[in-house]
Amino acid sequence: MNSGPALVSILRQGSTLIASIHTALDDSELVRFRTDLVGQIGEHRCRGVIIDVAALDVIDSFAALTLRTIAEMARLRGARTVIVGIQPEVAFTMVRLGMGTGGIPTALDLEEGLALLTGGADGDRRRS
């Protein structure tokens, strides 16, 4: 384990896991984040995962891929994933470079993300 401030925090709120990424992660940190997060889904028997990326001003292709795989792995373990807090510049850069979030739903911020997960029908409609 490395010392210093936490790079990510994973909190449980009801049946939802809230994972906040506080700073840019390198590839190995991303992999560890993925392992931790997917592991905790099982531990807490979660139905929803929110990944908050508001602190990131860069999301590279590996990070985008990791987010997609987390969502897919979470789905296989019975939880829906929402990515929240993508910054405007980040959003446009991701689209420009052709690395969207695949089919993962996104929301403006944590509050919206929670609303999306709890009001499932609304969320499904919004994605269409």
Partner 1 sequence: MTQTTSGQHLLSELVAHLREHRTKLREEWAERIQQAHLLTAMTPQEMAAETTSVYDNYVEVLETGSVEALQHYARDLSERIIPRGVETHEVVGIVLLLRDVLARSLFEKYQRDFGLLNQVLDAYEPAANRIANTVAVSFVDERERVIRQQQDAIRELSTPVLPVRERLLILPIIGVLDSDRAKQLTEQLLAGIRRHRARVVVIDITGAPDVDEAVANHLVQTVDASRLMGASVIITGLSPKIAQTLVTIGVDLSKMNTIGDLQGGLEEAERLLGYAVTKKEDATLS
Q: Which residues contact partner 1 by CB under 8 A?
A: 83-84, 86, 88-92, 94-96, 100-101, 106-109, 112-113, 116, 122, 125-126
User: Do 21 and 86 contact (CB within 8 A), yes or no?
Assistant: no
- In angstroms, the CA 90 to CA 113 distance is 18
- Closer of 5 and 98 to partner 1 (Cβ): 98
Min. distance of Cβ 66 from partner 1 in angstroms?
16
- Closer of 78 and 103 to partner 1 (Cβ): 103
Min. distance of Cβ 108 from partner 1 in angstroms?
4
84's enclosing H/E stretch is strand 80-84
- Closer of 42 and 85 to partner 1 (Cβ): 85
Q: Where does the chain have alpha helices with state H?
A: 27-44, 61-76, 88-96, 110-118, 120-127
